[in-house]
């Protein structure tokens, strides 16, 4: 009996040990390993330095800490539009990652519920804040090409394509020799299906920087789009010629005299033997009757 009790005790202890070292524990360890240790940027007192640190972290794919750095930048300078824009980029990366990793309740491609659609994402909020700041900035400094450039990019992120093109055109006008500006303008024109106009900007971008791979790829897209548009709008010559021939044949058929129809009779009477020849006066050349002078 004691032996049976001892075996049961060993079995129960084995289950407990397995439960502690099993999958749940491993998942917890992985979760802790994957958790991001957020940094504090309270010691940073220069907004430009905080912005630079955020850009560096964003390039290193440390997105969460990049956001913390950008938050510190706008805390120090609420009118730092670029920090809002970069924060919007960082938030959008996290939002896309959440949808694809399954941590978001809504799967990619699922319809957005009305309640959720009314709520703006963090990325949208930041892009809207960037637009607000840059609109004030370009109003105060109409020659600020960089402000127009980032304003156009922020509009693009919000899918306000016409506004984006307008801002980018102003940026390019102020700084036409910037390859990035020309590239961004070409990209928004492709989005607006203005392929021929996009080609001009993207060719300029490639001419300015032969290593601009993005501009070269976009140029191919613009040229392909222009060909599609030209093909659709171009009239089909073969069909036009066929229709013209058909119309001509129909006209000839209508003007031809049927073989069994009677020829039209002439208005002039055929002179018979002994008849006096008929004289037809030309009404145009005949003299008018003499007018009576004395009535």
What's the CATH code of the domain at 54? 1.25.40.10
Sign of CA dihedral 41, 47, 53, 59: positive
Residue predicted with more confidence, 209 or 17: 209
- Is residue 227 included in any domain, yes or no? no
Domain membership of residue 87 (yes or no) is: yes
* HSE-CB of 80 using CA atoms within 13 angstroms: 21
For position 185, what pLDDT does the model report?
98
On the question of pLDDT at 253 being above 90, the answer is: no
Domain assignment present for 80:
yes
Asked if residue 128 belongs to a domain, the reply is yes
Angle (deg, nearest 10), helices 63-76 and 47-59: 170
The predicted structure's pLDDT at residue 123? 97
Comparing C-alpha atoms, which of 155, 151, 149, 133 is closest to residue 78? 133
pLDDT of residue 238: 54
Give percent of the chain above pLDDT 90. 58
| b/e map 135-167, b = 16+ CB within 10 Å | bebbeeeeebbbbbbbbbbbbbbbebbebbbbb
Burial of 174 (0-12, 13-18, 19+ CB in 10 A): middle
Q: Is the pLDDT of residue 101 over 80?
A: no
Range scoring the smallest mean pLDDT among 105-109, 198-202, 260-264: 260-264
Is pLDDT of 41 > 80?
yes
Domain of residue 48, residue span: 40-107+119-141
45 in any annotated domain: yes
Of residues 35 and 27, more confidence is placed in: 35
The C-alpha atoms of residue 183 and residue 204 are separated, in whole angstroms, by 8
Residue 185 lies in a domain: no
Whole-number Å distance between alpha carbons of 131 and 92: 16
Mean pLDDT, rounded, for 9-24: 47
Structure pTM?
0.67
CB 131 within 8 A of CB 151: yes
Distance CA 127, CA 121 (A): 10
φ, ψ of residue 200 in degrees (nearest 5) = -60, -45
Q: Which residue has the tokens 């993207």?
A: 202
Q: What is the mean pLDDT of residues 52-65?
A: 97
**Virtual torsion, Cα 136, 141, 147, 148, nearest 10 deg:** 90
| 22 conformational bin, left if phi > 0, alpha if psi -120 to 50, beta if neither | beta
Number of domain units in the chain: 1
**Rounded CA gap, 218 and 210, in Å?**
13
Question: Residue 198 pLDDT more than 80?
Answer: yes
- The answer to whether the beta carbons of residues 88 and 96 sit under 8 Å apart is no
Residue 122: closest CA among 70, 173, 165: 70
CA dihedral 9, 10, 11, 16 (to 10 degrees): 90
Cα-Cα-Cα-Cα dihedral sign, residues 207, 165, 94, 221 = negative
Domain contains 203: no
CA dist., res. 198 & res. 226, Å (int): 9
Cα–Cα dist 82/50, whole Å: 12
The answer to whether residue 127 sits within a structural domain is: yes
Task: Summarize pLDDT for 214-240 with one digit per residue, the tens.
Answer: 999 999 999 999 999 998 877 655 555
Q: Which pLDDT belongs to residue 236?
A: 58
């Amino acid at each position: 009996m004691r032996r049976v009790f001892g075996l049961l005790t060993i079995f129960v202890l084995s289950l407990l040990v397995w439960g502690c070292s099993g999958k749940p524990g491993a998942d917890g360890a992985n979760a802790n390993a994957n958790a991001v240790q957020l940094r504090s940027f309270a010691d940073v007192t220069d907004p430009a330095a905080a912005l630079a640190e955020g850009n560096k972290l964003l390039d290193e794919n440390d997105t969460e800490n990049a956001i913390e750095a950008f938050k510190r930048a706008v805390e120090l300078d609420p009118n730092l539009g670029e920090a809002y824009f970069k924060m919007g980029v960082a938030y959008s990366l996290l939002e896309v990652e959440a949808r694809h990793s399954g941590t978001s309740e809504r799967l990619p491609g699922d319809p957005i519920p009305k309640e959720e659609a009314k709520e703006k994402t963090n990325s949208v909020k930041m892009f809207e804040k960037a637009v607000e700041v840059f609109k004030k900035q370009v109003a105060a400094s109409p020659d600020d090409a960089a402000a127009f450039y980032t304003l156009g990019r922020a509009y693009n992120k919000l899918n306000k394509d016409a506004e984006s093109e307008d801002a980018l055109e102003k940026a390019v006008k102020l700084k036409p020799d910037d390859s990035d500006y020309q590239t961004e303008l070409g990209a928004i024109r492709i989005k607006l299906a203005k392929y021929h106009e996009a080609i001009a900007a993207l060719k300029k971008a490639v001419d300015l920087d032969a290593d601009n791979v993005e501009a070269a790829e976009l140029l191919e897209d613009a040229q392909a789009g222009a060909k599609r548009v030209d093909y659709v709008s171009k009239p089909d010559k073969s069909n036009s010629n066929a229709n013209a021939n058909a119309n001509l044949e129909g006209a000839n058929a209508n003007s031809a005299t049927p073989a069994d129809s009677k020829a039209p009779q002439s208005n002039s009477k055929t002179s018979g033997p002994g008849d006096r020849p008929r004289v037809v006066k030309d009404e145009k050349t005949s003299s008018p009757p003499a007018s009576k002078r004395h009535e």
